[in-house]
Structure 1
């Protein structure tokens, strides 16, 4: 109970004070409800007297009515939270999850599947709000009503009270068993649903590839295993709790039968009045109802707890620490001081004792084989994570002393894989500066070489780009990305192989736009095509997480036998490669083709 209430308070967030007040109101209403049932004892005793005292009987009726009316008033107040705060709690939970995702270290965010996070922010948040607004009050009733009425029965007749107590004690192990089975089961169900949501997102995004490879459809190997696991976990969870639920309900009903049987025997022995037995039976029936319901509702509580726990898991992730006293940089040189970095879950470092300086307003190229650590260097500059050893500085300021949002205000990034939102061209460019005017957006588009194309579209800048920019070509998407960077006008520009996936015509246009973008900036470019970085102020060759060579293009070519010289020779040779000419086939079965 403590665990569930703690998670509910976490989910209630800023509305926790109102939630606590509602729980107190619910508790008071439940006590009044139990007291109203207790009034039946003296009322029935009075009505079964040979000489009924009418005034006293009406007094008990009046008290019963007053208690019921007071309970009704409190229930109406209790429902206020359900109806007035459900949507507020849902919205607040999602906003807090959004803030947690925004503050979450990028390394942790990348570790989580998009579909799984969608499940947390969507379905789990709604379930949590339902638990806070509706289930909490029911939870209080299921606990309080049996406690108060059990005490009443014990006071009236300790023997019958012990029967109820024995039945409750016998049912509790089964309730705990339901909790254990449902708890672990619903956590598995929730994980399976998160995995399914993630795989569905992947399936939709990769549908063209799946169709081309014959992997689409109901039996797709990308979907079938997770859908099967989801179905099996749901079925197994329901089956595992069915027998304990039935057993707990049966024990409660048998306890009620035992109480009536013992009560009847005591009445026949004249050791208990019929009126008292009748009153105790009414109280015991109301006592048994919440206990029977609890056996069923336990599954619902455990389902809610699984959702609440997943939300708590996201909210409890600590953002990167930001010590007090950090001052924004006033210059924009970049310095790596003996930096080593290992990704979570990996044993070997991705970067090992990396040490270099990028002077302000210079261009540095990172080259080397795939997986050598080039992209990790650019991520650390944006405070994707903090290195385990060493220091990354911008303008002499240790990035670990700056908020990641502050760091990113100094940086514009152009990625190889451009992500555009399913919105207008104007909105996608304005992401860099939401308050930008139309004139500023168009100026950025002109600088990126995309304005003339946009002007030919029927809706111009109001044209929607489709999901992930699917309505545009790769070169058009890349130029919109560059327009964002122009609009942001940050002093540091990070380029992660922005022309690698483009055709030669698009590459030329994009490269011209990039040349304008980086003018007067501090630039780091990750490059695979060495011909694009011949004019760099310095080239750093990265191998196995270390910088093995550094210098200008001329310097590195002069180091014959070095890694850079070998890469240059290999790429020069590849430029002369062409498809082999297939020899004409004669004879055999080929001659039968038409």
Structure 2
């Protein structure tokens, strides 16, 4: 539980002081509760006297009443954290997870499935908050009450106390087995749940493809396997701890039987009184109840630990380090100096000793085969990751000395695959600058050729675009993405072949918008169709993680045996390709 409490304090975050205070209140309330139980011993002793000392009996009844009332007050204060802070802890945990995801190195973020992260931010965060607000105080009660009651019984009669100690010691190994088995089982369950959530997200997003291939429906192999794995994991987790829980509960019940047997022997031997034995048995019953409950609740504690651990793992991921001495760039040329970069768990580097310079207010095109490292270059410019060797600089400032958010403040990105949120067109454009006025948003939309199709929509800029922009065409989505970049008005623009997936008519309109976007800015474009970058100030051919050629379109074509000339010839031949007629 020390481990779980540490995880709880991590998850509590800014509410850790209130959480500690609640634990202290719970401990005091439990001590008061134990003291109230202990008053039965002198109270029954007084009632068994002949004659009864009425004054003393009423005194003990008054003490019992005061202790019960005091415990009630403390329990109310204890539950205040649950009712007043549970939703705040949940919100705080999710916001901190969001910040952790935002500052997480991109390659670390990329290796985590969307469904896995959804599970952590959703179900795991809620379970962690529930554990902090409710299970923590329950644990304090389950530990404090039997320990103190056991000590009281030892003081009253050491023989009876030894019975409780012996049986408790015998039960602890079974409780430990429950912990170990549940810990392993519930971690497997949690991982299975995350895998299932990820596969469901994938299934929903890929439903058109699955329908077209006949793989949709309840027997879809994409879902059946993860559902079966999830069911097996849940069954194993439930079965694995069943026997230890039963044995632990049995031993606790046997403790009461043994206590009564030993107490009866002491009474028959005139070493103990009947009233005292009754009081001890009543006290021991309260001793046994938390232990029996603890045996059952151990599974719940371990389930909570699985969620707390997953939340803690995300919060523990360190953001990219920031070296001292950096300041915001005032110039916007880009320089790679002997940059070598490899992704995690990759044997060979993606980039090796790359040197390049992108002058300010120029257009540089990156071309080359798939997997050559072009996208990695743009990711390093955005400081989604840091190179293992060499440096990346903007305006002479080493990016390792800047916060990633500060780097991205100067960069606008237009991806080939546009992501729009299920919101209005206005809201999707305004993402680039939330404080922008309606006039500024509309100006960016006009420059990106968005206004011409928005003007035909019934709700104009208040039209919702649907999930991932499904209500719009590819060209319309791309124009909104460009409007977003125009509104940001960043001095550096990164383009990842933004017209590759468009039809000819849409490509013309989008290209006009891009021309307005890149004017007067430092531009790096990843190009697959070489015809789109013939006017670039410089073209860099990336092959095998190295810059193998550099120059203008005309210069590179003169190198007839070079990669660029071969790519140009291959694409020219492909443009003349036609689908052959098929005879009946």
Report the TM range for the smaller structure's normalisation. over 0.9
Deviations 1:309-334 (A, max 9, x none): 11110111111111233101111000
Does 2:164 correspond to 1:164?
yes
Aligned to 1:189: 189
- Shift in Å, 1:496: 0.4
Aligned to 1:439: 439
Does 2:87 correspond to 1:87?
yes
Does 2:383 correspond to 1:383?
yes
Aligned to 2:98: 98
- Shift in Å, 1:44: 0.7
Aligned to 1:40: 40
For residues 344 and 225 of structure 1, the distance between their equivalents in structure 2, rounded to whole angstroms, comes to 28
Does 2:457 correspond to 1:450?
no
Aligned to 1:67: 67
For residues 582 and 8 of structure 1, the distance between their equivalents in structure 2, rounded to whole angstroms, comes to 69
SS of structure 2 residue aligned to 1:51: coil
Aligned pairs (5 A) from 1:1-400: 1-400=1-400
For residues 69 and 521 of structure 1, the distance between their equivalents in structure 2, rounded to whole angstroms, comes to 73
For residues 233 and 314 of structure 2, the distance between their equivalents in structure 1, rounded to whole angstroms, comes to 23
Does 2:497 correspond to 1:478?
no
- Shift in Å, 1:508: 1.2
Aligned to 1:559: 559
- Shift in Å, 1:489: 1.0
Deviations 1:349-372 (A, max 9, x none): 011111010111111100000000
SS of structure 1 residue aligned to 2:519: coil
For residues 11 and 414 of structure 2, the distance between their equivalents in structure 1, rounded to whole angstroms, comes to 38
For residues 59 and 202 of structure 1, the distance between their equivalents in structure 2, rounded to whole angstroms, comes to 69
For residues 63 and 581 of structure 1, the distance between their equivalents in structure 2, rounded to whole angstroms, comes to 101
For residues 456 and 258 of structure 2, the distance between their equivalents in structure 1, rounded to whole angstroms, comes to 86
For residues 220 and 348 of structure 1, the distance between their equivalents in structure 2, rounded to whole angstroms, comes to 37
For residues 108 and 461 of structure 1, the distance between their equivalents in structure 2, rounded to whole angstroms, comes to 36
For residues 466 and 240 of structure 1, the distance between their equivalents in structure 2, rounded to whole angstroms, comes to 46
For residues 11 and 416 of structure 1, the distance between their equivalents in structure 2, rounded to whole angstroms, comes to 38
Runs of 4+ with >4 A deviation:
none
Deviations 1:178-215 (A, max 9, x none): 00000111111111111111111111111001101111
- Shift in Å, 1:64: 1.1
For residues 141 and 402 of structure 1, the distance between their equivalents in structure 2, rounded to whole angstroms, comes to 49
Aligned to 1:588: none
SS of structure 1 residue aligned to 2:364: strand
For residues 491 and 262 of structure 1, the distance between their equivalents in structure 2, rounded to whole angstroms, comes to 86
Deviations 1:27-82 (A, max 9, x none): 00100111111111111111111221111111111111111111111111111111
- Shift in Å, 1:509: 1.1
Aligned to 1:459: 459
Alignment TM-score, normalising by the size of structure 1: 0.97
For residues 330 and 441 of structure 2, the distance between their equivalents in structure 1, rounded to whole angstroms, comes to 27
Aligned pairs (5 A) from 1:510-549: 510-549=510-549
Aligned residues: 584
For residues 338 and 453 of structure 1, the distance between their equivalents in structure 2, rounded to whole angstroms, comes to 46
Aligned to 1:501: 501
- Shift in Å, 1:543: 0.5
Name structure 2 gaps, 5 residues minimum. none
Q: What is the alpha-carbon root mean square deviation over aligned residues?
A: 0.8
For residues 19 and 414 of structure 2, the distance between their equivalents in structure 1, rounded to whole angstroms, comes to 46
For residues 213 and 583 of structure 1, the distance between their equivalents in structure 2, rounded to whole angstroms, comes to 27
- Shift in Å, 1:583: 3.0
- Shift in Å, 1:498: 0.5
For residues 290 and 39 of structure 1, the distance between their equivalents in structure 2, rounded to whole angstroms, comes to 19
For residues 318 and 472 of structure 1, the distance between their equivalents in structure 2, rounded to whole angstroms, comes to 38
For residues 279 and 189 of structure 1, the distance between their equivalents in structure 2, rounded to whole angstroms, comes to 45
- Shift in Å, 1:102: 1.2
Alignment TM-score, normalising by the size of structure 2: 0.99
- Shift in Å, 1:299: 0.5
For residues 30 and 228 of structure 2, the distance between their equivalents in structure 1, rounded to whole angstroms, comes to 44
SS of structure 1 residue aligned to 2:221: coil
SS of structure 2 residue aligned to 1:353: strand
For residues 555 and 324 of structure 2, the distance between their equivalents in structure 1, rounded to whole angstroms, comes to 44
For residues 89 and 486 of structure 1, the distance between their equivalents in structure 2, rounded to whole angstroms, comes to 38
SS of structure 2 residue aligned to 1:222: helix
Aligned to 2:419: 419
